[in-house]
Amino acid sequence: MLGAITRKPVPVHEKAVEDPIVNTPALDNGAHNFSAHSRSRGAGAKLDAVLPRHRRYGGMSRKVFLIALAAAILALLALIIGLAAGLSGHSTHGALPLPSNSETFTGDLTYYGTGLGACGETSGDSDDIVSVSHIIFDAAGSSSSTGGNSNNNPLCNKMLRASRYDEEFGQVRSVDLKVVDRCTGCQPDDLDTSLGAFEKLAPQASGRVGVTWAWLQPVQTGS
């Protein structure tokens, strides 16, 4: 009789135990936070070296000084952006509407309270006078805004003709205007006239209307 066959038990392979240290998100985040904290401390140390905490800056603590500095920088950036936007807007007009240009320009027509103008002349509301944009006035020559005598600006006393279609009369109306002033609120192609001149082109109640205009004689600019 054959003896009983003894089968050796097949060893059961143990499941590999995952190393709890490897790929542990909490530890990874901790390392990241430690690195960020170290960078923050490094930046703080550099700031302390440049602007020590214990010192006063213009009578202000460092914190208040930094806030004021940031506000000043933001204001400067806003000014730069505003100037850039203004220059970009002027570019849509092409060349500035100086008397060396022979074409006709289109802009807004408004009126203002007359008196002593930038050209040194006193005018009244019934005079056919005009205040041109400060942009072209200053570009033409001397101006008080640039430290010069605006009375000597080459645009002073020069003539231009403004025209617009009057819906009420069904025809184009025109008026010849003498430059006597500098309009700080006008874009390059805008005109600001006396009330009397405005009413020759549009009713006073209109306040602001479109206008086309052109110089009646050339002017040597840039002096």
Highest mean pLDDT among 56-60, 126-130, 150-154: 126-130
- Give the model's confidence band at 32: pLDDT under 50 very low, under 70 low, under 90 confident, else very high: low
- Give the model's confidence band at 27: pLDDT under 50 very low, under 70 low, under 90 confident, else very high: very low
Reduce the DSSP state of residue 144 to 3 states and report it: helix
Cα-Cα-Cα-Cα dihedral of 42, 43, 45, 46, to 10°?
Answer: 120
Q: Which fold has domain 105-215?
A: Barwin-like endoglucanases (2.40.40)
Residues 6+ apart with CB under 8 A from 198: 109, 110, 111, 204
Q: What is the DSSP string of 18-75?
A: PPTTTT-HHHHHHHHHHHHHHHHHHHHHHHHHHS-TTS-BTTB-HHHHHHHHHHHHHH
pLDDT over 90 for what percent of the chain? 39
pLDDT at 81: 63
> What backbone phi and psi angles, to 5 degrees, belong to 57?
-125, 105
- Give the model's confidence band at 72: pLDDT under 50 very low, under 70 low, under 90 confident, else very high: confident
Q: Give 144 or 161, the one with higher predicted confidence.
A: 161
The segment(s) of the chain belonging to CATH 2.40.40.10 are 105-215
- 22-31, 39-48, 91-100: least confident range: 22-31
Mean pLDDT across the chain, nearest whole number? 78
pLDDT at 166: 82
For residues 212 and 203, the answer to whether their CB atoms sit within 8 Å is no
pLDDT tens digits along 82-97: 555 444 444 334 577 7
Reduce the DSSP state of residue 173 to 3 states and report it: strand
pLDDT tens digits along 159-190: 999 999 988 778 899 999 999 999 999 999 99
Q: Per-residue pLDDT for 64 more than 60?
A: yes
Q: How many helices (H) and strands (E) does the chain have?
A: 4, 6
Q: Are strands 171-183 and 129-133 parallel, antiparallel or unpaired?
A: parallel
